[in-house]
Amino acid sequence: MLVALLLLVLSGCTSASSAAAKTPRPGAPNTIPPQWLRTELHLAAVDASEWEAFLAEHITSRFPAGFTVVEAYGQWRAPQGDIRRLSTKVVVILHPPTHEAEQAIEAIRKEYCAAFNLSSVLRSTTPALVSF
């Protein structure tokens, strides 16, 4: 009985250590495929009613599980060389690395450009360690 208990305890340690080996420590290089991605879309601010309509129709409908919108202010250098400053909405989406999520994000970018006559929407995507 003691031997069986000892084997059970040791096998639990092995499982826990192999699970821990698959989970990167914060700040450690990630050597496994990410389970989640963090995508930020930097959207030039538009009229409040236009924003609410776009948010409901194009973003909420694609990511109903949730996202975060942060009010921001930024600047960038235009191709002509002048500095342009603008209010921005940063949409932060945490999502699994799936083809469906990729298509949804790219559709949002394309539709925002078309709706508000913009040449581009900045996108940044990084691996994310997520817990809820």
Domain residue ranges of the chain, discontinuous segments joined by +: 33-127
Predicted local distance difference test score (pLDDT) of residue 131:
81
d(CA 40, CA 91): 5
Pick the CATH number of 33-127 from 1.10.760.10, 3.30.70.120, 1.10.443.10, 1.20.1740.10: 3.30.70.120
Buried-state track 41-52, b at ≥16 Cβ within 10 A, e below 16: bbbbebeeeeee
Predicted local distance difference test score (pLDDT) of residue 29:
58
Q: Which residues contact 36 (CB under 8 A, 6 or more apart)?
A: 94, 95, 96, 97, 127, 128, 129, 130
Output DSSP code: residue 57. Answer: I
CB 130 within 8 A of CB 23: no
How high is the mean pLDDT in each 10-residue block of the chain (132 residues)? 42 46 57 83 96 97 97 91 94 96 98 95 94 78
